[in-house]
DNA sequence: CAGTTCTTAGAACGCTCGTTATAGTAGCGG
DNA sequence: CCGCTACTATAACGAGCGTTCTAAGAACTG
């Protein structure tokens, strides 16, 4: 006898809703009860589908990572050089539609710097993927070591500018800084 | 009648110890009980000197801010241009002796991006001070708007590189990226 | 329909948390 | 020494937490 089959679609549906909820709420204050209430289910349902709280958070971040990486490949993959790829990255990041996801991303970063083991895999993958996209954009003619160094700098600068605007809300100053950064970058990419 | 005088020195002593403890532990897991145990006092003593938990955390961050700002002024204040000031900033930041404080700093950042009201003042002050030091380093001959934009970029890049090395531990790649960034910066500062 | 497994919910357990109540001790002015 | 205030500690309260227990419907196979 086989019994009722596992409903993978149900799990995915709950997980997507949980990621949306986590993007709106404060990461540190997530609990079985708050997520369950937002999704209109009981805490037992979450336990059944995800196990422990750590595994629920891990699943949420894994799903968030998939979204972020898919966006980054879609956006920066087709650009011919570092400068235009960086500009595409910045335009995408500074779009306020991305801010809930990016706020969650930086909240996880904040936790990870003080407890690396917990979310290290998440950060390594996202960071490495973004750098890989920007290394690829520089083409095969650039020294790999140079390409990695420049990609690391560009990712760091964009992340720092995003952190600035997300924390201070001073959009005008940060946008001006981004413009200066991107225009400085252009003549170096040839 | 006057009664026993308030012991301000005792409060400062407890606060300094609390900042050290917060730098070693995970910010999100700080509690009256954990801080009290680390300091060898009771939770009541902390309540007496600091009031609520929010005000204790606020006092800890205020003290951390004083330390960070004092260091930044001491380190970058005497440099003749943006490139050397930026290099001094990076050398200081990438010294592992600063990492506990910087880990705490970024942990607070992670919380602030999702709940701006709580720690907004802390972040505004630290960020604005660092930018001001780097604006001053560029001298009076640079357009103020340009100087602010470039200072914002430099602070963002250094913060992004720090976040990278603190989260991934990949010191070699980040140090190479920092070297590329700083050498690119040099010819532009004249 | 019977048997089996998946899905969901409500209630409870043990724990930690911030905060408060109570009380004893220490240092000051009169 | 007395009155007053600062300082510190123990104990407790109520709330929220992750997790487990128990049990009831739902979907599938035979």
**Looking at residue A189, what is its pLDDT?**
41
Instruction: Tell me the mean pLDDT in the region B36-53.
Output: 98
Among A61, A108, A68, A119, which residue's Cα sits nearest to residue A92?
A68
DSSP letters spanning A107-145: HHHHHHTTSHHHHHHHHHHHHHHHHHHHHHHT-TTS-HH
* pLDDT attached to residue B124: 84
Contacts of B156 in chain A (CB under 8 A): 156-157, 159-161, 163-164, 177
Whether A120 has its CB under 8 Å from any CB of chain B: the answer is: yes
CA distance A4 to chain B (A): 41
What backbone torsions phi and psi does residue B142 show, to the nearest 5 degrees?
-85, 140
pLDDT reported for residue A126: 86
Q: Distance between CA atoms of B45 and B48, rounded to whole angstroms?
A: 5
Measured distance CA(B133)–CA(B138) in Å, rounded: 9
What pTM did the predictor assign? 0.92
Residue nearest C6, CA–C1′ metric: A4
**Structure token digits, residue A19:** 């990621």
Instruction: Give the minimum alpha-carbon distance from A124 to chain B in angstroms, rounded to a whole number.
Output: 6
Task: Kindly determine whether residue A156 and residue B161, on different chains, have CB atoms separated by under 8 Å.
Answer: yes
Structure confidence at residue B61 as a pLDDT band (50, 70, 90):
very high
CB atoms within 10 A of CB B147: 20
- The average pLDDT across B76-82 equals 81
* Cα–Cα distances in angstroms (integers) from residue B51 to residues B3, B4, B17, B56, in the given order: 21, 19, 17, 7
Q: In terms of Cα–Cα distance, which of A114, A108, A151 is closest to A130?
A: A151
Question: Which residues of chain A does B150 touch, with a Cβ-Cβ cutoff of 8 Å?
Answer: 177, 180
Residue B100 DSSP SS3: helix
- Match 């879609």 to its residue by tokens: A74
**How far is the C-alpha of A56 from the C-alpha of B165, rounded, in Å?**
27
């Amino acid at each position: 006898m086989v019994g009722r089959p596992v409903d993978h679609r149900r799990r995915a549906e709950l997980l997507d809703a949980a990621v949306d909820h986590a993007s709106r709420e404060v990461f540190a204050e997530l609990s079985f009860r708050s997520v369950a209430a937002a999704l209109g289910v009981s805490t037992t349902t979450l336990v059944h589908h995800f196990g422990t709280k750590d595994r629920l958070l891990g699943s949420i971040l894994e799903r968030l990572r998939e979204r972020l990486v898919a966006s980054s490949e879609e956006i920066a993959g087709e650009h011919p050089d570092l400068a235009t790829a960086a500009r595409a990255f910045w335009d995408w990041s500074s779009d306020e539609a991305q801010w809930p996801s990016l706020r969650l991303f930086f909240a996880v970063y904040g936790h990870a710097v003080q407890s690396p083991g917990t979310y290290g895999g998440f950060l390594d993958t996202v960071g490495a993927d973004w750098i890989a996209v920007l290394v690829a954009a520089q083409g095969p003619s650039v020294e790999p070591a140079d390409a990695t160094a420049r990609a690391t700098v560009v990712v760091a600068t964009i992340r720092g500018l995003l952190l600035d605007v997300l924390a201070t809300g001073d959009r005008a100053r940060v946008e001006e800084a981004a413009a200066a950064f991107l225009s400085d970058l252009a003549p170096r990419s040839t």
